[in-house]
Amino acid sequence: MKPVNFDLNNIYKYLIFFILLYISIIINLVYGEDSTGGAFVDYINQKKISQDFAINFKNTFFNYDQYTTRHSPVLIIFLSFFEKINLADHFIRLIHLHLCLLLPIIFFSCLRIKYKFVNPENLLLLVGLIFLSPTFRSLAIWPDSRLLGLTLFCFSIYFYLMFEENKKFKNCIFNIIFCAISAYISPNFALFSIFYFYKFVIFFKLEINKLIPIILLNLILSVPAFYYIFALDINFLTTAAVLNVEGDTNIFFSNIFNKILIISSITLFYLFPFLITRIISLNKTIKFNAIIIALTIFLISMFYFNYTYQLTGGGIIFKFSNFFLNNNILFFIVCFVSILIITNLSNLKFQNFLLFLLILLSNPQITIYHKYYDPFLLIIFFTLFNFNINLSKINLKLNSSIIYLFFISFLIISNYKYLWKI
């Protein structure tokens, strides 16, 4: 069976579609859209640090933990070079925007590897959802390490999928390098090196000549970060991210059960349009042990749940439940359904559970924002997870209409700031 290529008779309408999406991002830049509700403020605070790097690099670099930010300094240092030459702010943001446009491109490349027998036009419909992401639209024009880190992490996914395709060792090396670079820009991606290492060990088994270089490369690439944070004691990661929370109480998983419920609800939010259109299919029979696992996780997590509305964040379901009902009842119902669906989709496969665990652990701070998982979850659902996926269904008019209406509605709600901020 040969890979499916583009239908040149239809490619022009998709080209026009993406040109319109690109124009919408440029308009977004001109008018300063802030769909996440905090991108502009974060950028202004970050810009001050960038200017300090431009003025006195050494002092800022060795006192970085004194700033009220938990963002990696790497992107800020990069932007400081533009500050150094007095480049106008709108040009700096325009450059960053076009760097971030690599994300939908590399995401499409990943999909073309994994779904080579699916019409490329179907894959383009999935990629187009990136442009409707509130996080992508906001952080592309208000530079933030999260989005550029995700872009580089997507490169690591590309080389992992290439390795799965051709088993060439060089793709392991590129995968590790890009995962490390993404982690230097946005540290939360560092944990996914565990997933890659697990997959490489499964494949190479006892081939020491392959495993030793992989281990050494991971260690070598991690040394600068460990030295900067622990040896030089510049631990910016423990900086408080929310008002009225002091010290490092927002780090090292003060309540993992909050994360299980909130992140599960956010996960279901992104799965929902693909589940109802059966692009992602549930198992027809639910295994008894899967129900027991889901119920146990839910009940323990609900008992220890203590996330408050005042912390901000919490995801769209948590916000909706508290804003309109003034309680967590709807939120808890959705969470149980979410955990049950996740265990069903995972098919009790270790690879899927490992990925979910890493998603939980990649957000150690006490505050949990929806924007951390947008469009991150969308990307890894269709690249790294082992779900029952049929992307040929996305091209059906009803299905594509439902999916796009869902994400457009979320974008509109995200901009409806006087109602709530997600």
Same domain? For 260 and 191 the reply is no
Question: Does residue 335 carry a pLDDT above 60?
Answer: yes
pLDDT at 110: 96
Same domain? For 128 and 115 the reply is yes
244 falls within a domain: no
- Give the domain extent around 126: 1-143
Same domain? For 11 and 123 the reply is yes
pLDDT in tens, 157-208: 999 999 999 999 999 999 999 999 999 999 899 999 999 999 999 999 878 8
Question: What confidence tier does 15 reach under pLDDT thresholds 50, 70, 90?
Answer: confident
Same domain? For 150 and 138 the reply is no
Percent residues over pLDDT 90 in the chain: 57
Same domain? For 176 and 276 the reply is no
pLDDT at 243: 47
Same domain? For 131 and 191 the reply is no
Question: Does residue 309 carry a pLDDT above 90?
Answer: no
422 falls within a domain: no
Identify which has the larger pLDDT, 236 or 138: 138
Same domain? For 7 and 49 the reply is yes
pLDDT at 376: 95
- Domain count within the chain: 3
pLDDT in tens, 339-381: 999 998 888 788 999 999 999 988 877 888 888 999 999 999 9
pLDDT in tens, 37-92: 888 888 998 899 999 999 999 999 988 888 877 788 899 999 999 999 999 999 99
410 falls within a domain: no
Same domain? For 135 and 21 the reply is yes
419 falls within a domain: no
The DSSP string of 144-208 is: -HHHHHHHHHHHHHHHHHHHHHH--HHHHHHHHHHHHHHHHHSGGGGGHHHHHHHHHHHHHTT-H
Same domain? For 342 and 272 the reply is yes
Q: Which residues contact 221 (CB under 8 A, 6 or more apart)?
A: 176, 177, 180
Same domain? For 199 and 167 the reply is yes
Question: What confidence tier does 1 reach under pLDDT thresholds 50, 70, 90?
Answer: low
5 falls within a domain: yes
Question: What confidence tier does 288 reach under pLDDT thresholds 50, 70, 90?
Answer: confident
pLDDT at 56: 92
Same domain? For 91 and 114 the reply is yes
Q: Rounded mean pLDDT of 204-218?
A: 89
Give whole-number Cα distances, 111 to 72, 107, 130, 223, 346, in Å. Answer: 29, 6, 13, 33, 20
φ/ψ of residue 389, rounded to 5: -120, 135
122 falls within a domain: yes
* Global confidence as pTM: 0.92
Same domain? For 131 and 22 the reply is yes
416 falls within a domain: no
411 falls within a domain: no
